[in-house]
Structure 1
Amino acid sequence: MLREICKIARNAGAAIMKVYYSDKLIDISYKFDTSPVTNADKIANKIIKNGLVTITPNIPILSEEDVNNFKYNKNWNIYWLIDPLDGTKEFLKKNGEFTVNISLIEYGIPILGVIYAPYFNTLYYAYKQKSWKINSLGYKEKISVVQSNIPKFIISRSHPNEKLHDFLNKTEKKYTIKKLGSSLKFCYIAEGKAQVYPRFGQTYIWDTAAGHAIVTAAGGKVITYNEKKDLNYSLLSRRSLTNSDFLVLS
């Protein structure tokens, strides 16, 4: 099944790149939270959902693109959680830092995660506590987190805020910073290119689930900032689909 999910992610990514390189104007609208959505998001959403229904017809799907017009069941113990185009702002900026995110949630835990970065033709995926990367040349390698005496902090390119500034100011160790878009930040932690990803402000469960699976399978952790507990994706006790502030650590 994992191979099929990776294929679905690549197919969605190929469709996104057709829009990315098209001469036609990109169709943009805005959601209730003012975040942009494009025709590329919608096309990728359809491809992923059709693919998942074919493979696992009995597992429900929760997608970012359907959440406004869709009533999910809080009693779902197992479900697909997808973000067809993570990093829409980066997609519109044409900087390549956007991804396709697909994850399988089982009793609140992301047990499978696939992230495809179509611009870079790079695929990350995780299952059963193992994480892999396939680069643009097709080379596959197992990945794992890496510690550093001078850690690299990876932060959002499009979502800086005062909490992040305060967090960095309180950090006593020497560190370096890299800015990056989308769920690629999780991938950088998982493959050892960075050690800390602090995130403050609004994110949704579909933004983090696939990356969470990949990081934890690579030996890292994704924990809430205040309680220091694992981010949880159970729908049962949720008031909303947003995450708490969190840290991704190697």
Structure 2
Amino acid sequence: MSVDAAFLDALEAAARDAGRAIISVRKAGFETERKSDASPVTEADRAAEAVIMEHLHRIAPGVPVVAEEAFAAGQIPETDGEFFLVDPLDGTREFVAGRDEFTVNIGLIVKGVPTAGLLYAPAKDLMYAASPQAAWFIDGTHRRILAGRQPDMAQLVAVASRSHRDQATNELLEALKVSDTVGVGSSLKFTLLAEGRADLYPRYGRTMEWDTAAGDAILRASGGQVLDIHGNPVRYGKADIDDPFAHAGFIAFASEKAAHAYLSHINLR
């Protein structure tokens, strides 16, 4: 599949339409339900996913789409070569709580690697995008190229989940002598790294590939890395394992230097 300007513009339109569907549901009011894993889901999740699926079938007919709500309903397509990962509303807890830190996420995976992605925060009207060559922030018609920063190892800044902070995260931040920690919801954590506002984002415990694909594509294109807890590059399309399309934890880094600090840490343990 050619990741050209027309393709990325089409993904942007899909994300914006999904965002409008989410905001419409929020204005009208909604009920919160629980899925089998006890995570929350609302009509906004389902409405946004339907909008994205309709767009993707037009943009890339025949390319498989692994989408969060369809997956929860048992609709799991065969994935071989290239496919989309879709989280129609990442940060549902933030959405339900009335906060604005929720996002629409569309990632294109090619041979296990997030190759392109769109991440949109509709309540903030923030749009981030990535191709294999670059990542950028879209503000109206202006596009600003994103690049992660080279860290000051004496003053590392970490991004941590507001809803999923745990002891393992605290121990890592202490071991790396992180001087400041920023809390933010949803996949917006990846954008803080890509924009050069933070150095690392640790997330221990189970997450799903659609949670990270778009943010990972943006971070990689800005010069960052996403490693698993053992220090290996995170891969996608793991349908052959017992828990398909799941991560057992990851650490995202804004630069190779920050990643090297982590690798040195785990090698010394």
Partner in structure 2 of residue 87 of structure 1:
91
Partner in structure 1 of residue 176 of structure 2:
171
Shift of 1:56: 1.0
Partner in structure 2 of residue 59 of structure 1:
63
Match of 2:159 among 154, 170, 179: 154
Q: Distance in 2 between matches of 1:94 and 1:177?
A: 23
Match of 1:16 among 13, 22, 43: 22
Partner in structure 2 of residue 144 of structure 1:
147
Which amino acid in structure 2 is aligned with residue 65 of structure 1?
E
Shift of 1:75: 4.6
- Between the two proteins, the alignment pairs up a number of residues equal to 245
Shift of 1:169: 2.2
Residue by residue, what CA displacement relative to the aligned partner does 1:99-153 show, whole Å, maximum 9, x if unpaired?
0000111111111110000011010000022001013x54320111012321210
Q: Residue 161 of structure 2 contacts residue 184 of structure 2 at CA under 8 Å; is this kept in 1? A: yes
2:48 is aligned with 1:44 = yes
* 3-state secondary structure, aligned to 1:243: strand
* 3-state secondary structure, aligned to 1:201: strand
Partner in structure 2 of residue 3 of structure 1:
9
What fraction of aligned residue pairs are identical, expressed as a percent? 36
Which amino acid in structure 2 is aligned with residue 11 of structure 1?
D
Which amino acid in structure 1 is aligned with residue 160 of structure 2?
I
2:73 is aligned with 1:69 = yes
5+ residue gaps, structure 2, are: 1-6, 255-269
Which amino acid in structure 2 is aligned with residue 63 of structure 1?
A
Q: Residue 70 of structure 2 contacts residue 76 of structure 2 at CA under 8 Å; is this kept in 1? A: no
2:205 is aligned with 1:230 = no
Shift of 1:74: 4.7
Which amino acid in structure 2 is aligned with residue 5 of structure 1?
L
Q: Distance in 2 between matches of 1:208 and 1:156?
A: 13
Q: Distance in 2 between matches of 1:205 and 1:32?
A: 18
5+ residue gaps, structure 1, are: none
Shift of 1:59: 0.3
TM-score (norm 1): 0.94
Match of 1:118 among 101, 118, 122: 122
Q: Which moved more, 1:122-131 or 1:240-249?
A: 240-249
Residue by residue, what CA displacement relative to the aligned partner does 1:141-168 show, whole Å, maximum 9, x if unpaired?
0111012321210000111111112212
Shift of 1:21: 2.6
TM-score (norm 2): 0.87
Q: Distance in 2 between matches of 1:86 and 1:100?
A: 6
Which amino acid in structure 1 is aligned with residue 124 of structure 2?
F
Q: Distance in 2 between matches of 1:236 and 1:206?
A: 13
Q: Residue 186 of structure 1 contacts residue 212 of structure 1 at CA under 8 Å; is this kept in 2? A: yes
Q: Residue 102 of structure 2 contacts residue 186 of structure 2 at CA under 8 Å; is this kept in 1? A: yes
